[in-house]
Structure 1
C-alpha cells in the first residue's frame, strides 16, 4: 500500500515540475524553455562546446559578431537583433514598438528608439524623432530625411518644431536659464533666486557683481581690461601673457586683436616694435613711451620685429607701381611708378601715361580737383554727384570748394532736401523757400540744430538780445521772443533781470510781469510775494526764507506793537528805534522779545540796542540783517563788530553808517552828488561807464534821446539814438517806491491841499471876470 502511495506522489510531482525537455525536439538542443504565452527556445546544446544560436532555434559552434554569450546562450547586443535564419546578429531597423508613419528606427546604446525613415515618400523625420512631418520646421537642418534642430534650438514639447534652448542642460546650480553660443559652451543667463546676478564666468549665481564688472540684464561682465578669476566669482586684471611671450612680464590684447607684450621681465629692456618680445633699447626710427618701442609714422616693424623699416614696398603689389604708402587706418595706394615718366592714376591703384582732365599733378601723382572724384576704373576724374559718405534719403550730393558735402536730390519722389542739406523731408518747413526740390531758409532765418526747421538768425533782429521778432530790421520791428536768459518787457525789449523795472518780476514764460499793486518789488504775482514795499509800508516775510517774499503791512506807529519811538526811516517808511520794554530791542525795525534779542543785540539801553552782534549792523537803536528788508536797502555786508562794512549804494561807511547818494543815483562814488552816479535809480539812465549824472528816461542827454512817458529805460548800446524803454507810463505795474521819503498819508494830504488851492483860485478868477466884468 505504501509503495502505491509513493508511486502516485512521484507521478504527480513529476507532472508539476519545470519542463526542460524540448517538445517538439529542436535539432542539436538538449534542453529548452517556454516562457508563459511564448514560444519554446533552446537553452542548452547536445554537443559539448556549442552555443545556442541568437534566435534560440538551434546550436552553432560559436556566438556571431555583435552578440554576447552567457551560460552557453548567444544574445544580440542592445542595438542588434537575430537575422532571419537566426544564426547572426543584424542591426535593428524595425520600429519596436512601432512609431506611426515611420518605416525604420534606431536605438542608440542606453538610449530611446527614434524614427530614422518615413513610410510616406517625401516626408521628413520630425525633430524629436517620434514621427514624420511634411517638411522640416524653422531653425532645423535636414540631412538624410531627418530634421535636426540647429545648435541653439531644441525640439518643442510635441516634437514638431524647434524652440530656443533656455533650459540648462546639464543643469548649473542656482541658474534658471542658460544659453549656448554656436560652437561655444553653455553659460547661465538667469538666476533662480530673485536679485542674484550671473557670476562673471557664467557658471553660477552670486549676490552682486564684483568690482571691475558691469551689470546688464542681471549678468556680470568683467570690464575690458579684466577677466573672470579662476573660480569665476571675481574679475582680475588682464596682465598675464597667455600664451607666454619670452622675456615679457605683462601683455594686453586689444578688442579683436592679437596679444602683444606691454612690459619686460628684465629691468631696463624695452618692448620691441612688433610687440612680440623685448630688446635692450629701441631701434632707429622708433619712439619709446612707457617702455614700448613704436615705429614712426612712415616706418613699420621689420620681419623679425626688432627694427623699423621704411614703408615703401607695395604689399600686396600693385601692377606698375614701385612704391606705396598706407595712411593710418586707410588703404594702400601707389606713390611711385616703375616706368619712368608715368603718373600715379587718380585712385592710386596703378599708373598711366599722363594725368586726365580735371586732375592736378604733384610729385608724379594725379589728384582730382575739389569737386571731382576718381571714376570707377580710377583712370579719369568725374564730377562728384554721389554722396560720399552716403546721406540717408539722398540720391545726389554736391561739395562746394572748401565746403562740406550737402544733399542735392532725394531718393523718394516728392521729398525735399531739408534746410541744412543733410537729409530729406516731406515738405519745406515754415520760413523756408523751395527751389529745385531744395529747402532754403529765408533771409533772417537759419537751419535749426537738427536741420529740419528754420529758426531766427542770431542778430537778425535790431532789438538787443532778441531771438525772434516781427518785421525784423524795420521801423515796425517788434520783438516776440528774447535770447535765452533774457526776459521780454512790456515794451518788447529784452533784459536779463525783470527787477530792473521797478514793480516787475520775471515769470517762467520769460516775460516781465507786473507785481501786485500792494508791492513795490516782488518775486511773483501774489500780494504775499512782495520783496519790497511802497513808501509808508513795511514788508512782513511769510517764512524764514526771504527769497519767498511776504506781504506789505503798516509802518511803525508809536506806542503800538511794543514800540515806544518810530525814529528810523528807511525808504520812506518808519521803523521802530526804541521799544517800550527796556530789555527788548528792534530787529529789522520791529521790537523783539528779550529771549530772541540776545542773538542779535549784545549791548542795549532802555529799549534800544547800542551794539549789534556779528553779521548784523546798527542803525538808530535797532539791528538789521543784510539779507532782508529794510536793511538790505542800506547795507549788503556786516562785519564781526555789528557794523555795516559794505554799503548798498557803493559808498564807504563812516563808522558803520552809510552816507546817502543823490536821489537820481542807485549807486554812486560821492555822497549827495548828482554828477557822481555809477548806476541810476528807476526811471533814469546814464551814458557811458564812468561816474556821471543820471538823466530822466523822458529827457535827452547829448546824442541820446529820451522817450516821453518812459518810466524805466537803458541807454542805447551805441550811445546814440533813443533810450531802450522797458516800461511806459500807463503800463500795468505794481506799487512804486516813494523816492521823496514822504509817507503815503502826507502825499495824500498834499494832493488834497493842492486841489483845494487850485479850486479856490479857479473860483476867484471866475468871480473876477464874470461879476467884476458886469460891474
Structure 2
C-alpha cells in the first residue's frame, strides 16, 4: 500500500509539472522572499518584474495602444479582496479623492496580496515604494539595513520593529536612516540614490505624477472593469471577466457602480503571489509572469521611463530604438511593417495602395481606385460595363450587365438588347424575354391581345388582360374595358365600379366616365380626390404649380422645388445668383460651369460633368439616356425600358412597380426607387435630394451623390474635409462631431452621426464599436472578435495536458 501511495504522489507531481510547462511558467522557481531560495543561482530565483512598476516604458506603451491614455494610466499591485482568495487577475479603475489627486485615473490589475492589505485596498507597485514585511530586492538596489545586499530572503525579512531603513550612506547604521518600512522613499531627491538612472526616473515619476505623496493611505473611488489587453500582455494574468465593461472615461462619484476604497504603495521585489499554483487555480485564470535577477529584474536593465523619446529613423512612424531603420514599431502611410520591431517597406506602387499590410495586399486605396477582393486597388470600369480590360473606357468592356450584349468577340462596347429582350448575344439573337413577350427563333415578340402573357407563339395565352378570363389557352371577354366590375359582360352601361381615373355615372350601375385632366381618382367630373403630374388638389380640381415652382403644396405658389435657374428660399423660388451653379445643373462642384454638374433636375442625368436629357419615353434615367428609371404618362417600365401601355392590357398603373388592382394608381403594393407608398396606396416621389425615403417624402433613407443622411434629412457633404471634426473622414457641418458622413480608420459611424472609437482590442471595426475587422498586436481575429494569442496557446497546451493526464492515470491503474 505504501508503494502505491508513493506512485500516486509521483503522478500528481508529474501532472503539476506538465501543467506548468503547458502554461510556460515554472511554478517550482524559488521565491526570492522564501528561505527556499538560499543557495540557488540567480536564474533559479523569481522576482517581481520591473516593467510592472508604475511609469515603466511598457506600461506607457500599453495604455496608449489600448486607447485609454487620454484619461488613465496603467499599473499593477496587490489587492485586498473579500473573500481573500478572489484577488488574482482582477482589474479596477481607481480615482484618488483628495486635494492633491493625480490628473488621471489609473487602471490596475491585482497580481499580489498580503495579510496587511485590507478589503478594497490597492497597494500600487512603484520603485522604492516600501518593502513591507519582506525584502527580496537584489544586488544593492536599495541600501536597506541587514541582508538586503545578497538578494536572498532569511536575514532580509524584518519585523516592523526592526524595519530596514533607507540610508543616504549604505555603510551607515540604522541611527542615520529615515524610516521606510511601509512607505519607501518619502522625498523625490532621494530617488537619485538608486543604483541606476532607469530606477531613478521611475522613482521620480511617481512623485511628479502625484501617485506618491506624503499621504500614504489615500481615499479613492474604484470600479471593477474588464482587463484591457495591454495589462494582460504585461502580466500574463488572464481570467474570464467578459461580463464586465471596459473603461470608458474618468470615474464619476455619482456612478452607482463605484465603491469606496484606499490606495497605498509598495515594492517588495518578491515573486507575485498570483504566480503560485494554488492562487491561480482559485482565480480560475492564468499565472502572473515573474522574472529572474538578470535582464528584467529589479535592477531595471530592460526597463526605462523615457520609452517614447526615440529619434526614429525617417522610415519609421514610431520605433523602439533611435536612428535604426530595423527598429520601427509602426510605419508612415504608404508603408508596411515587416516585423515588430522591423523595417518599414513601401507599398508596391503598381497596386495603387494608400495603406497596405504587406507587399501584395492593400488595406485602403489611392483616390480614384477601389479595393478588390484580391487586395489590389483598381480603377472602376465604365458604368456600361460589368467587367472591363481598361478602367473607365466604354469601348473596353469584357462582359455586360443584364439586358446588354458585348459588341465584340472578347472586348468591346455594351449595347442594349432589343425591346422585350432581357438577355441576348446580339441585336438579333435574344436568349430570354420580359413579361408579355415570347421567344420565337431568337426574337422576342409581343403577345397578341387579349393575351397578357403567352407561350410557344403570340396567341397561346397563359394570362389575360383586364376584361378577359383564361379558358384553356384562350382569353374570353368579361366586362367592358371601361368597367372594373360589371353586372353584364361587354356592356359599357352596366359597370358597377370603375378603374382608376374614372368615376361611375350612376348610383350603383352605369357608365364609367374619365376624370378631369391630371386627376387620378374622382367622384364626379369636378370633384377630384387625388392628382398626378406635379399638380395639387385645390377645391376639387387638379391645378399646376405656378412657375417658377416645379412642385408645390397647399397652393400653386407655395413652392417645394423650383424649375431650372431658380433656387428655393423658404417656400419661394428666386433666381440663382451669378456665383451659383450653371442653370443646367441642380448641384455643382464649380459655379457657372456646365461641365461641373454633380446632380441634375428631373429628366436629366450627369454625363461627363454636364446634364444630358433622358431619351423619351424615359421620365428619369440612370447610366445612359436610354436606361429608364421611370416613364412618361401612358408608358410603363419593363426592366430599364419604357413600354407603351395598351388600355386593353391588364397591368399596373404606370406609377406602380407592383399592384393589387390593375390600372389603379391607388392600388400600388410597391414603388420604383425614389418613390414611396402613402396611405392612399399610390406612389409619391421622394423629395430631392432624397434618393429613397420612408414614411413620408421628406424622411430620407438614402441620398443623392454628394449628400449624407443626417437624422432623416439629406445634407450636403462639405467639399473640404479639413473642416470636419478629427474623427470624421467626411462631414456635413464644420467642426461638429455629430455631423460625420464617414469616419477615419479606427472609428465607426453611430446612429447619431458621430464617429465612435472601436473598442480595444479591435484596431478597426464595422457596424458597432465591438464588431472587429482587424486587431491590435498580440490578438487574432475570430469571427468579428479579437482573441488574445495567449488563449490559443493555452487551449492547445491544455489539450496536451489532458492527454498527458489520461496517460498517467492509465499507467497508475495498471500498476494497481
Query: Under TM normalisation by the shorter chain, which class is it?
Result: under 0.3
Give the TM-score normalised by the residue count of structure 2: 0.26
Rg comparison, structure with higher value = 1
Q: Higher RCO, 1 or 2 (CA under 8 Å, sep at least 6)? A: 2
